[in-house]
Amino acid sequence: MRQRRRLGISWAIVSTLILTSTVAGPAYADSTRSDDLDLPPLTATSSQDIPEEYFVYPDGTPLPPGTPTMTNEEMEAFGTTETGPLTKLEISEPQRAGTAAVVGGCGLSVGSMWIRSSSSSEPYGGVGSKPAITGCWGQVTQTYLQSFVWMHNGWIWFSAAGPFDSFGTWNMVQKSVVYVCKGTGEYPFRVNTYMRISGPQGVYDQINGSTAEYKFKCG
């Protein structure tokens, strides 16, 4: 049975432990999905309930075991589709009276996706984004981003590249979030990003964010 995981608010922390290399698959056909598979519309709304035969690349090649997947419903619930700053996270330090005082914060900008010029030397090009932590202030001491490039095979979303991890102490931009195309064809993509900020005495805050859905032609 293929390993499957439902991804929630803590997905990034878990995936750091079990998914340590970019998921790289074979070249795929020039098609949004394979007509030879003849699969019925997917009725499952949870990745835990997706039948085995849907775990494939667009051309029908099986996904590597353990590839993270999401249904359309899970993807829509994951994060926002806005291209501006998602939110301003704040960290609070407990006070003696039992209240909490805000001591710092940062913002997460998932940005948009585009065909990355850094992949121009690749045979089929590549797509990606540049998620960023912005506007940090106060007593923020550590910042962290983890991103995945997701691809849709016609029925489900699967992680096509990642995790991309970045560690810092303040504002930063991830420039490495790229999916290198393995063949030709036009496919839907999204980038999902997890952000965590930390401050004094171990206080922290975290959030998930997602780009909008983009369709790009590889090759």
Give tens-digit pLDDT for 113-122. 888 877 777 7
CB 64, CB 78: distance < 8 Å: no
Instruction: Tokens 């990745």: give the residue.
Output: 47
Which residues have C-beta within 8 Å of that of residue 175, sequence separation ≥ 6? 118, 130
Band of residue 167 on the pLDDT scale cut at 50, 70, 90? very high
Residue 138 lies in a domain: yes
Residues 127-157: pLDDT tens digits?
A: 999 999 999 999 999 999 999 999 999 999 9
Residue 82 lies in a domain: yes
Residues 49-95: pLDDT tens digits?
A: 999 999 999 888 999 999 999 999 999 888 654 434 445 677 777 66
Partner residues linked to 87 by β-bridges: 108
Band of residue 125 on the pLDDT scale cut at 50, 70, 90? confident
Residue 208 lies in a domain: yes
- Which is higher by pLDDT, 5 or 78? 78
Separation of alpha carbons 47 and 2, rounded Å: 12
For the chain, what is the domain count?
Answer: 1
- Give me the domain span that covers residue 160: 11-218
Residue 3 lies in a domain: no
pLDDT reading at 180 higher than 90: yes
Can you give the pLDDT at residue 102?
80
Residue 178 lies in a domain: yes
The secondary structure of the chain, three-state, reads CCCCCCCCCCHHHHHHHHCCCCCCCCCCCCCCCCCCCCCCCCCCCCHHHCCHHHCECCCCCECCCCCCEECHHHHHHHCCCCCCEEEEEEEEEECCCCCEEEEEEEEEECCCEEECHHHCCCCCCEEEECCEEEEEEECCCEEEEEEEEEEECCCCEEEEEEEEEEEECCCEECCCCEEECCCCEEEEEEEEEEEEEECHHHCEEEEEEECCCEEEEEC
pLDDT reading at 159 higher than 80: yes
Residues 97-110: pLDDT tens digits?
A: 566 678 888 999 98
Can you give the pLDDT at residue 88?
65
Residue 141 lies in a domain: yes
Residues 8-65: pLDDT tens digits?
A: 333 433 333 223 333 344 444 434 444 456 788 888 889 999 999 999 998 889 999 9
Residue 85 lies in a domain: yes
CB 150, CB 190: distance < 8 Å: yes
Residue 182 lies in a domain: yes
pLDDT reading at 177 higher than 80: yes
* pTM score, whole prediction: 0.78
